[in-house]
Amino acid sequence: MKIKVFDQLKDKTFDIEYNPFFETINEKIIKEVVVSEHASKRQGTAHTKVRSEVRGGGRKPWRQKGTGRARHGSIRSPLWRTGGVVFGPRNNVNYQKKVNKKVVHKAFKTAIDFICQNNKLVLLKEISFPVLKTKHFADLLKKLNISSTCLFITKEFDDNLYLITRNIENLQYKTINQVSTFDLLRPKFVLTTEKDFYLLKEKY
């Protein structure tokens, strides 16, 4: 399988040979890892108070007999509007789903195969600008016909690249160590350099 490598003017320079990690795309493994990634990001901050946590309710609202009303012993009761909540969400829930490291590595490699086979990968020989401006990077995306969601990957975090890319709509900038399986699959295009792509393949 061959992948085209362009320069910043979108002139094709050469092809590189890409050997897929696997013969077929295992969607089941990808789904398992992506669900695990989403679950681990859940903070579980939703919290309701049970009867013992509600403030007040130390005395009986009214006497047991003689009022004609239903008997009650505390305003903390779930029957009251300001009382405790029965079976409500608690902030001690752990939503994380364990996935073996081998499965995570396999899913990541499968995602790389997927973006290569579906022409989502855009490789550049190198990226350099005489003057670092957002306009120049936006012009580069136009020349590469990248008009939808895009993930821009580099080896190390560059403050200057971050500053010129942060205001571009639908563009996400991440380093190789930050990229996950879902990050590769979510955008329509993945933009990186030839050298960084080899490092991305060797991440796991």
Burial of 80 (0-12, 13-18, 19+ CB in 10 A): middle
Half-sphere exposure for 108 (CA within 13 Å, toward CB): 18
78 in Cβ contact with 88 (< 8 Å): no
- Please give the pLDDT value at position 8: 74
Reported as a single tens digit per residue, the pLDDT across 26-61 is: 999 999 999 999 999 988 899 999 999 999 888 999
pLDDT above 90 covers a percentage of the chain that reads 64
**DSSP letters spanning 11-22:** -EEEEEE---S-
- Please give the pLDDT value at position 182: 94
**Residue from 193, 191, 15, 29 nearest 109 by CA:** 29
- Please give the pLDDT value at position 17: 85
Hunting for tokens 């094709």 — which residue is that? Answer: 12
Burial of 151 (0-12, 13-18, 19+ CB in 10 A): buried
Instruction: Report the chain's terminal Cα–Cα distance, integer Å.
Output: 21
- Please give the pLDDT value at position 16: 85
Would you place residue 23 in the very low, low, confident or very high pLDDT band (cuts 50, 70, 90)? confident
- Please give the pLDDT value at position 69: 95
pLDDT greater at residue 49 or residue 20: 49
Torsion, Cα 186 190 195 199, to 10 degrees, reads: 10
**Residue from 106, 115, 117, 114 nearest 204 by CA:** 106
How large is the average pLDDT for residues 76-80?
Answer: 94
Hunting for tokens 């991305």 — which residue is that? Answer: 200
55 in Cβ contact with 146 (< 8 Å): no
- Please give the pLDDT value at position 203: 86
Reported as a single tens digit per residue, the pLDDT across 108-145 is: 999 999 999 998 999 998 888 888 889 999 998 998 88
Alpha helices in 69-193 (DSSP H): 101-117, 134-143, 159-165, 181-185
How large is the average pLDDT for residues 9-25?
Answer: 81
Reported as a single tens digit per residue, the pLDDT across 138-180 is: 998 998 888 889 999 999 998 989 999 999 999 999 999 999 9
